[in-house]
Amino acid sequence: MLRRAALLAIWMLLSILLLAQISADKKPAATSSNHLPDTALMQQIQNAWATLNPAEAARYYDKSPNDVFFDAAGGVKFQGWQAYDAAMRKLMADEQSAKWIVNDDAVVHAAGNYAWGTATVHAEMRYKNGTHQTLEERWTLVWERKNGEWLVVHEHFSAPLEEH
């Protein structure tokens, strides 16, 4: 009788452990969207813009009409992704190729469902008219975690004024 009770207890313990393991295995696997934004993500965003097709960058951006984006190259202020997308399409129509390299001063800070990053960015653009331009730009962006994805909800791109 004692032996039967011990076997029953062992069987119940093993069953509980097995169920706990099965439950743990069913948890969703960590994806890049579950991780905090980082400097690698910053470079991925710049690589998407370097395709000269804003649709490639769109997946990194929130689509709320309340988001504000500042970019001195295409205008001063864009309210919402649609306005930003349209302005960048016009601007990039004159470009043959572009490359943005996030410099090693890039940092990302996180607080709850928000994160922000800052960096200087080396830019190289070749235009269809044969001209070439290089710039050292400044970049600040704010991400918000929405539905498990980190999306840019604010961005500010600028370049220092040229010295006269």
| pLDDT tens digit sequence for 76-127 | 899 999 999 999 999 999 999 999 999 999 999 999 999 999 999 999 999 9
Instruction: Report if residue 2 sits inside a domain.
Output: no
51: β partners: none
pLDDT at 8 over 80: no
Say how far apart CA 154 and CA 134 lie, in whole Å: 24
The count of other CB atoms within 10 Å of the CB of residue 54 is 19
Which structural domain range is residue 116 located in? 36-158
Q: What is the CATH number of the domain that holds 127?
A: 3.10.450.50
Element containing residue 117 per DSSP (H, E): strand 114-127
pTM for the structure as a whole: 0.77
CA dihedral 31, 56, 123, 64 (to 10 degrees): -80
Determine contact, residues 156/141, Cβ cutoff 8 Å.
yes
With contact defined as beta carbons under 8 Å apart, do 152 and 68 qualify?
A: no
Question: What is the C-alpha separation between 78 and 87, in angstroms, rounded?
Answer: 8
Residue the block writes with tokens 């649709």? 55
The string of pLDDT tens digits covering residues 48-72 is 999 999 999 999 999 999 999 998 7
Do the domain assignments include residue 90?
yes
Distance of CA 99 to the CA centre of its chain: 17
Number of domains in the chain: 1
